[in-house]
Amino acid sequence: MTRQSIRGIGYCARMTPAGDWAFDFALDLALLHDVRLNIFFFPSPPCQPHLSRGRRGERAELSSEKMVALERETRLYYDQLLGDYVNVGFRLCEGDEEPELRRCLIVKRDYDVLVLAYEGYRCQFGSKTIEELAEGMPCPTILVGPERPDQLFLNSAAELWVEELALDQRPWRPVNGTVVIADQDVPTTAN
């Protein structure tokens, strides 16, 4: 089976500690593979409930002032973290989270690997839990966090890319093997 090389890294912006950990991981991958880092940001955080913004390509109703303010805030935040790295793109995703990320992967080909901040077990990401979203993505997807920057969870597609993701010497867990015991945020690996 022939496998393509990594041509781009996608990262969903989150201005939180777990978001910074995920950003650092995504930037390290982009540097390692000498590829573009694409930073996607939404009108509201994916973990917050919101009205549907459009599952079939419709877009959120945002004024041009709001769009400019969102982009300015995002760029200013990440410009500091990027340092001298300039092979970066910013994209305001005005639709719902999963359809937007799939469009950027399949149609626009903005990335081959997706990195997400794992802000808590069973936390929402759009209309699904972050675990369901990550496992359902057709590309390698890595969740970083929620307790430490070295805590990594890989979807099934990413498990096949461990060497390319520079994880062959680092601990990680499968997303689909993580079971959260009732009301305890302690992951265990299902056997």
| CATH code of 17's domain | 3.40.50.620
Q: Is residue 1 part of a domain?
A: no
Q: What's the pLDDT tens digit per position in 66-94?
A: 999 999 999 999 999 999 999 999 999 88
Domains identified in the chain, total number: 1
- Assign 3-class secondary structure to 23-48: HHHHHHHHHHHCCEEEEEECCCCCCC
């690997």: which residue's tokens?
113
Domain that holds residue 49: 8-189
Q: What's the pLDDT tens digit per position in 144-187?
A: 999 999 999 999 999 999 999 999 999 999 998 765 554 544 55
Q: Is residue 104 part of a domain?
A: yes
Q: Is residue 85 part of a domain?
A: yes
Q: Is residue 120 part of a domain?
A: yes
Please report the pLDDT score of residue 177 as a whole number: 73
Q: Is residue 52 part of a domain?
A: yes
Please report the pLDDT score of residue 96 as a whole number: 83
Q: Is residue 3 part of a domain?
A: no
Q: What's the pLDDT tens digit per position in 31-79?
A: 999 999 999 999 887 777 656 655 555 556 788 999 999 999 999 999 9
Q: Is residue 2 part of a domain?
A: no
Q: What's the pLDDT tens digit per position in 100-122?
A: 999 999 999 999 999 999 999 98
Please report the pLDDT score of residue 5 as a whole number: 86
